[in-house]
Every structure is written in C-alpha cells, then in structure tokens.
A and B are shown apart, each in its own frame.
Chain A
Amino acid sequence: DVKVTQSSRYLVKRTGEKVFLECVQDMDHENMFWYRQDPGLGLRLIYFSYDVKMKEKGDIPEGYSVSREKKERFSLILESASTNQTSMYLCASSLSATYEQYFGPGTRLTVT
C-alpha cells in the first residue's frame, strides 16, 4: 500500500512565523502535490512537483513556497504565516500525472 505521511496532524503558529509542512511518500512516486482544503471550496492546488528539484505553481501559490530535494519528500513553506492561511493542508503523490493520487492524513494549521 502507498503510504503518504505528513509531519504533523495539528499545528498552531503565530502570525509572521515561518512554517514548514513536511510530506513523505514511500512508493517512489514521481509526482507530489500540496493542496489546501477549506469548507465549501473543496481542495485547491497550491504547488506540485513532477521531479526532484522541480516545482510548478498551482492555482493558489501566493504566500507559499515548496522544496523537493529528494524524491520522497516534498515540503510546503509558509514564509510569513497569516491568519488567512488557517486551513487543512493535504499532501498527495501519484505514480504519474494520469494516475490516481494518494493522500496523506492532512495537517490542520491554525495561525493566530
């Protein structure tokens, strides 16, 4: 079974802090994704990566950056957290762009 893990289930940070969300997958997948999930909006793509050191902006990249130094790890960075970034963050991976994505358990981030 594909396993996608995220570093924290719950996180509380202060406005202006730098926040790191880590995601690791164990199935040698090429593709990794970061989404945020808000009620009534479904999941929205923040960034994705199709290879090591490669990153592409999704639909809502503002205020976020990512890093993929190793194939199995994809990090989401909030350079200066703001209250409007309070949300559920979901990481996913897939074998290729046309295959189903497998998701981690999510990180519920609260910025106060």
Chain B
Amino acid sequence: AQKITQTQPGMFVQEKEAVTLDCTYDTSDPSYGLFWYKQPSSGEMIFLIYQGSYDQQNATEGRYSLNFQKARKSANLVISASQLGDSAMYFCAMRAFSGGYNKLIFGAGTRLAVHP
C-alpha cells in the first residue's frame, strides 16, 4: 500500500537551531515524488520543497533541505537556522500513481514550535 508516515506529532526547537522532521514512505512504484508543505495557523498550505525519485542530489531551497535516503524510504525535512515564523504544521506528501492517475498522499503532519 502507498503510504506516508510522520511519526512526530509535535516538535520544538530553539530559535536559530536546526531541526529535522521525519517522513517515511511506502511505495512499489519506481517513479514517485516527495513534497513538503507548511501550514501556518492561517490555514493555507505552502509548498516548500520537492524531491524526485530519480534525483541524484538532495533537494535544497534556501533554509530547507530534504534528506532523501531511497534505500530506507525516508525523506526528512531539515530546517536550518529556525525562525519564529517557522512555527507551523508540516506535511510530507508523496505523488503516487493510483487508479490510473497521479495523486498526492499526505502524512498526518508534524506540529513544529520554535521557541525564542
């Protein structure tokens, strides 16, 4: 079954420190994509970063990087130099081919709190 697992319901970090949010996935498809989204308290989902299954290098976008370990089926999000504005829910998602279409499958999310 295609599935995304986020085992950390909540995390906290001190401002300016780095934090890693865990994500593991399960799929038998050779081609897939992994996404991370941020959801602040305002409710809107904000796209952060993408990693394709065939990408050789880990994706990076500013302070966000994706630690992609294909053999372990993990796609952890690393946020460097945390800021107070990083406090939000974070969702890992996988693009999977199911029922004849590409769909996004989401994890349950991790709530990150950044403390001053």
A interface list, Cβ under 8 A from B: 9, 33, 40-45, 48, 50, 56, 58, 88, 90, 92, 97-98, 100-106, 108
Number of interchain pairs (Cβ within 8 Å)? 52
The DSSP consensus for interface residues of chain B is strand
Question: A42–B50 contact, CB under 8 A?
Answer: no
Please tell me if the beta carbons of B106 and A42 are within 8 angstroms of each other in the complex.
yes
On chain A, the residues within 8 Å of B4 by CB distance are: 42
Are B101 and A50 closer than 8 Å at their CB atoms? yes
Closest CB-CB distance, B96 to chain A, in whole Å? 11
Q: Is the CB of B33 within 8 A of A45?
A: no
B44 and A42: CB pair below 8 A?
Answer: no
**A104 contact set on B, CB distance < 8 A:** 44
Which residues of B lie under 8 Å from residue A108 when comparing CB positions?
A: 43
Measured between alpha carbons, how far is A103 from B32 in the docked complex, in Å? 21
Instruction: Judge whether A97 and B108 touch: CB under 8 Å.
Output: no
Which residues does chain A contribute within 8 Å of B91, judged by CB atoms? Answer: 42-43
Given A50-B101, A97-B102, A98-B33: A90 and B45 interface contact (C-beta under 8 Å): yes
Interface size on B, residues (CB 8 A): 24
Interface contact A103-B44, CB-CB below 8 Å = yes
CA distance A88 to B33 in the complex (A): 25
B44 partner residues in chain A, CB cutoff 8 A: 103-106
Which residues of the other chain, A, contact B103 by a CB distance below 8 angstroms? 45, 48, 58
Within 8 A of A (CB), among B67-116: 91, 93, 95, 99, 101-104, 106-109
A80 to B78, CA, bound (A): 43
- In the complex, the answer to whether A48 meets B95 with C-beta atoms within 8 Å is no
* Complexed CA–CA distance, A103 and B42 (Å): 12
Minimum CB–CB distance for A58 against chain B, Å: 7
Q: How far is the CA of A48 from the CA of B105 in the complex (A)?
A: 13
User: Is B12 an interface position by the 8 A CB rule?
Assistant: no
Cα distance A30–B107 in the bound complex, in angstroms: 25
Across-interface contacts of A103 in B (CB, < 8 A): 37, 44-46
Instruction: Find chain B residues with CB under 8 A from A98 CB.
Output: 33, 95, 102
Taking a contact as CB atoms under 8 Å apart, the answer to whether A101 and B107 are in contact is no
Is there an interface contact between A48 and B101, defined as CB atoms closer than 8 Å?
yes
